Chain A
Amino acid sequence: MVHTPDGARLLANFAHHICGCRGDWSMASFRDSKIAEIRAQVGKGRVICGLSGGVDSSVVAVLLHEAIGEQLQCVFVDTGLMRADEAVEVTSVFRDHYNIPLVHVDAGDIFLGKLAGVSDPEKKRKIIGATFIDIFEAEAKAAGGADFLAQGTLYPDVIESVSFDGGPSVTIKSHHNVGGLPERMNMALVEPLRELFKDEVRALGRALGLPEILVARHPFPGPGLAIRIPGEITAEKVAVLQRADAIYLEEIRAAGLYDAIWQAFAVLLPVRTVGVMGDERTYDHVCALRAVTATDGMTAEAFAFDHGFLGTVATRIINEVRGINRVVYDVTSKPPGTIEWE
């Protein structure tokens, strides 16, 4: 485990010294064999790929494009649960950088409608998964049919969602694009990254020539801000959270801390507490801030900001975002917690 400091060395000794293995497996060799696998799986078929702007789906898209070129169609589903300005960023990166055809589907109203009144985190993930697939099928039909759906499912998604092939691993929570998929699916799945951990995906991205700013981007979950608003989701709450999250990340980048952190985000709590602003009593939402260090997302520790930093962020958020009058910081490690709140 990460916390036995010499653990990696012991395992390397087993592989190299005791078993006599060479150490020549790398992302470059993975990429070559994976491209061959994709071509074998897809044949002459058409693949539709969901693009979120995150490093996973970007690597999937570029990998697929290298493997099957024109047989690929990318679709960016704007769920209305993304961060401020994210939709614009995603479309501009893939239209300016790459020659990959991209369809932008503005589906915010649909997702929010289906999530109305839903509080249970598992239900949220399953609804988002199902709605996502519905929209994909519609897009695939509109684009003239597709045989395969590509997704950026990773190893941590698999272990956290599926009782490993019937083995005894315990289910933690379903992921929108694995356990959350409904039974009826009219396309076969292509998940070229499902054996990889997050930092292996980044290494693969670099091996594929993706720009560093995309490769080094923090992970962002498929269900987006839906799992950062415990309780019911409304358009108003999403807007409030987008503003708070934008301020938090702006301050993190300005302090030069972005790359030292694995993932950082704001959470909008359904808890309301009392505050005082301009001699008036306020009664508003609490915003929780989360930042963790991790090497692969399976274990993580809360990032130790100095208190000056958190105070600055809290002040900005409370002043600038209507609807929040208190900011707290989540100090829970993973395990026993998870990085995300839902």
Chain B
Amino acid sequence: MPDRILIVDFGSQVTQLIARRIREAGVYSEIVPFNRAGEMLGSFNPRGIILSGGPASVVEADTPRVPQAVLDCGVPVLGICYGQQALCAALGGTVEKVERREFGRAFLDIAGDCQLFDGCWKVGDRAQVWMSHGDTVTALPTGFHVVGTSDNAPFAAIAD
């Protein structure tokens, strides 16, 4: 069976692009809506999970949450945008609405080493990225450290 990555969809218009890029890297990927991720995990058996962005806000009450099965699965999890925020909230960090949102082109200052940055970014680099958020992480979950910051997101990229 080929190695595979599962992408958990929180409703972003561009979730498919994540699948696209993973496949271009020669790894099969599939997308599952967040509310069916738990049932899919056992049979799909991914080597890694990516949590997508989405239009909702973790700060509000009845919005999507990271399924417990994802938190318990034991494989690496990458949270992007809403995915990052939902993961932080689930692991004890804090997410808040902010006055200064970031939409469109932004810059990420690399503050720490991370395998995610292998071969492209190193500490001290200023990388161009694309952001679209009105909430931001304001306190880290235990065990995480900051690897990248932007003008309006002090915890733009974090890792454990």
Q: Is A186 an interface position by the 8 A CB rule?
A: no
Q: Is A19 an interface position by the 8 A CB rule?
A: yes
Q: Is B54 an interface position by the 8 A CB rule?
A: yes
Question: A5 to chain B: which residues have CB within 8 Å?
Answer: 128
A168 lies within 8 A of B11 (CB): yes
B115 lies within 8 A of A25 (CB): no
B122 to chain A, nearest CB (A): 12
A1 lies within 8 A of B14 (CB): yes
A21 lies within 8 A of B56 (CB): no
A1-24 vs B, CB cutoff 8 Å, 1 = contact: the mask equals 111111111111111111111111
Question: A3 to chain B: which residues have CB within 8 Å?
Answer: 105, 130
Interface class of chain A by DSSP: loop
B33 lies within 8 A of A14 (CB): no
Q: How many residues of A contact B (CB 8 A)?
A: 44
Q: Which of B14, B20, B75, B130 contacts A197 (CB 8 A)?
A: B20
A6 lies within 8 A of B127 (CB): yes
A29 lies within 8 A of B2 (CB): yes
A4 to chain B, nearest CB (A): 5
Assuming the contacts A14-B76, A298-B16, asked whether A164 and B127 have C-beta atoms less than 8 A apart, the reply is no
Question: A156 to chain B: which residues have CB within 8 Å?
Answer: 16
A32 to chain B, nearest CB (A): 11
- Distance, CA A20 to CA B9, complexed state (A): 22
A11 lies within 8 A of B25 (CB): yes
A335 to chain B, nearest CB (A): 8
B50 lies within 8 A of A166 (CB): no
Q: Is B42 an interface position by the 8 A CB rule?
A: no
Q: Is B38 an interface position by the 8 A CB rule?
A: no
A167 lies within 8 A of B35 (CB): yes
B105-140 vs A, CB cutoff 8 Å, 1 = contact: the mask equals 100000000011111110000011110000000000
A298 lies within 8 A of B14 (CB): yes
Assuming the contacts A18-B76, A21-B48, A168-B55, asked whether A200 and B11 have C-beta atoms less than 8 A apart, the reply is no
Question: B116 to chain A: which residues have CB within 8 Å?
Answer: 10, 13-14, 18
B139 to chain A, nearest CB (A): 24
Q: Which of A4, A8, A169, A296 contacts B25 (CB 8 A)?
A: A8
Given contacts A5-B128, A159-B13, 16 further A-B contacts (CB under 8 A): A6-B120, A6-B121, A11-B18, A11-B50, A15-B22, A15-B48, A18-B48, A21-B3, A21-B48, A22-B3, A155-B16, A155-B19, A165-B36, A167-B10, A168-B55, A200-B23
Which 3 residue pairs are nearest across A and B when measured between Cβ atoms? A23-B26, A19-B48, A168-B11
Chain B positions near chain A (C-beta within 8 angstroms):
2-5, 9-28, 30-31, 33-36, 47-48, 50, 54-56, 64, 75-76, 78, 105, 115-121, 127-130
